[in-house]
Amino acid sequence: MKPITEDVQKFFDLREFILNVKNYDEAYAGFKWPRITKFNWATDYFDKIAAGNTKPALIYADTEGNEITVSYDEMMKRSNQVANFLSDLGMQKGDRVLMMMDTSVEIFELFLGIMKMGGSIIPASTLLSPTDISDRIERGNVKFVIVHNKFRERVDQAGEVLKGLKALVCVRQIAHKCDCEEKEFIPCWTDFEESKNYPKEHEPSFITYSTDNLFLFFTSGTTSQPKLVMHPYHYPVGHLTTMYWLDLKEDDVHYNISSPGWAKFAWSSFLAPWNAGATIFTFNYSAFDPDKTLEFIEKYKITSLCAPLSVWKLFVLKDFNKYKFNLKKIVSAGEPLNPEISKKVEELTGLQLREGYGQTETTGLIFTPKGMKVPDGSMGKVSPGYEIQILDEKLDEVKRGEDGQIAVAIYPVKPLGLLTGYDDPDKNKEIFKGGWYLTGDTAYMDEDGFIHFIGRVDDVFKSLDYRISPFEVESEIMEHQAVMEVGVIPTVDDRDRIVPKAFIVLKPDFYANKQTALDLFRFIRDNMAPYKRPRSIEFMDEFPKTISAKVMRKDLRQYDKELKEKGIQGKFEFLEKDFAQELNLRKRK
């Protein structure tokens, strides 16, 4: 095993500092990004803490009753076998690997094994079509494709791009065999089981520089074609900030509810917990079941839980008195957290639901640290290691309390948690300007330094000369007892004015009818400022969402535009003006 170099020691020192820091102020003041030239997290850090370590690194469970526990030492040895297997398939430093897999033990072995070979990992959603797969292989300059065998057919349909690959690897699942039909110029599928025949020791034959490409994520594409986000090998150092937000320690069993195809999985299901030396719990299911998930959280004595807003919305409908949890810390990320949900979760668990904000392009940027009391609607404060300001269109700092774009300073030191860039030079010019990384999100900072999210720059709109934040309106409507989910967009009323429209998914036992619409309009009039009141409500069975479960507001806007062009209302759309008498609306002059 390689000795600890000066660069690697800098990582260990910063890790030790953040694990033992006493409070946020101390963390923010003392956190300084190290200058690291050569660094490979898998060989330089993970193997160091894993060798001879019998503590569970990973607990895997699924709905079929399977359960696998892997120690740190076993994970180190298995990932060495994987590295040797990939080397035998022709992998070289810098080769890009597309992975399309369900939650599994093999994902963790492969992440580490690819890192040990100096490769670049491109996680992919298991919902991708053959066309999507072809696009990602071509744009990502992919050399290896690794999938669970049940997804192999979609890869086979990806077409001519497969001819540029070095290898196709299938990972077995029950009732699926990794056979292969020979095709001209396309590699035959190799069974991942063969990796178990390789030596359990591995020595890299190259230097990994901190600026080499490690993770390449395709964004979820809520407003445009998915972009390829490139993160270098010092990216795991950046996730010391994520580890601090999660408040992870070595004795934690941490469960992050996320699909493997997204950056949040790398954040909270891989890098942050193993940065802390904690145990990762991962749960494989075909369809999310809140009852079964809560049972497993109890059964496996989960102490730390990270879940998106969409999951917390389902959890708060359940009877928590049925369970005896070991939870000590709970967080939410991926979507802005509504204050109403936060209050309900705290009532059910007795724990503070702490919000975190970041992007596929970053690590944790803004969050609520453990023990910090924040004003309603605030995400928290700036993460240690980052300088963040709220800027106007001219990149001037706005006054406290005023809206602007969230911007991250990249001068004089660029934080190690930020992307290298996109695969689009023109887009890079848009996001890196004047010593700042521009997030594309709007917010305001209050007098005490707490940051309040408003929305994507593209989502915020003007109505009757007032600025409307869809998130703000959605948060207020969420307080109604019938509402499960809500999405707000701009629409045009019969007088050609831009006004808010609310799409609503109702909770079970509530029905999309005129009486429910009237109840909601009454609630809105009683609880919301006139300028931001939705003038129309449309009930939906479900929202159009990205494959990472974010609401596709652009699809809602397109659907509403098509209704307007046809001069019709939606099937379950109700207008405020139709309830003029019941709401005591003033008549137009």
Superfamily of domain 461-579: ANL, C-terminal domain (3.30.300.30)
Surface-to-core class of residue 56, CB atoms within 10 Å of its CB (0-12 exposed, 13-18 middle, 19+ buried): middle
Closest Cα partner for 467 from 391, 557, 545, 404?
A: 404
Find the Cα–Cα–Cα–Cα dihedral 275, 278, 283, 288, rounded to 10°: -70
Strand 353-357 relative to strand 366-367, pairing? antiparallel
Structure tokens at 132: 């999507």
Which pLDDT tens digits describe the chain residue by residue (589 residues)? Answer: 677 899 999 999 999 999 999 999 999 999 999 999 999 999 999 999 999 999 999 999 999 899 999 999 999 999 999 999 999 999 999 999 999 999 999 999 999 999 999 999 999 988 888 988 999 999 999 999 999 999 999 999 998 999 999 999 999 876 566 777 777 788 999 999 999 999 999 999 999 999 999 999 987 654 456 789 999 999 999 999 999 999 999 999 999 999 898 899 999 999 999 999 999 999 999 888 999 999 999 999 999 999 988 889 889 989 999 999 999 999 998 777 888 889 999 999 999 999 999 999 999 999 999 999 999 889 999 999 999 999 999 999 999 999 899 999 999 999 999 999 999 899 999 999 999 999 999 899 999 999 998 877 767 776 765 667 787 788 889 889 999 989 888 888 877 778 889 999 999 889 999 999 999 999 998 888 787 889 999 999 988 765 555 667 778 888 888 888 888 888 899 998 888 888 887 654 4
Q: Specify the pLDDT at position 589.
A: 41
User: Domains of the chain: which residue ranges?
Assistant: 391-456, 461-579
Superfamily of domain 391-456: Luciferase; Domain 3 (2.30.38.10)
DSSP β-bridge partners for residue 331: 306, 354
For tokens 């109505």, name the residue: 463
Q: Which stretches of 117-215 are DSSP H helices?
A: 130-139, 152-156
Strand 466-468 relative to strand 461-463, pairing? antiparallel
The span from the CA of 382 to the CA of 331, in Å, is 16
* Burial 375-393, CB ≥16 within 10 A → b, else e: eebbbbbbbbbbebbbbee
Domain 391-456 and domain 461-579, same fold? Reply is: no
Instruction: Return the number of other C-beta atoms located less than 10 Å from residue 511's C-beta.
Output: 10
Amino acid identity for residue 102 in this structure: D
CB 254 within 8 A of CB 243: no
Contacts (Cβ under 8 Å, ≥6 apart) of 349:
320, 325, 327, 330
Q: Specify the pLDDT at position 585.
A: 78
Q: Specify the pLDDT at position 68.
A: 97
The span from the CA of 358 to the CA of 415, in Å, is 13
Closest Cα partner for 298 from 314, 281, 316, 277?
A: 281
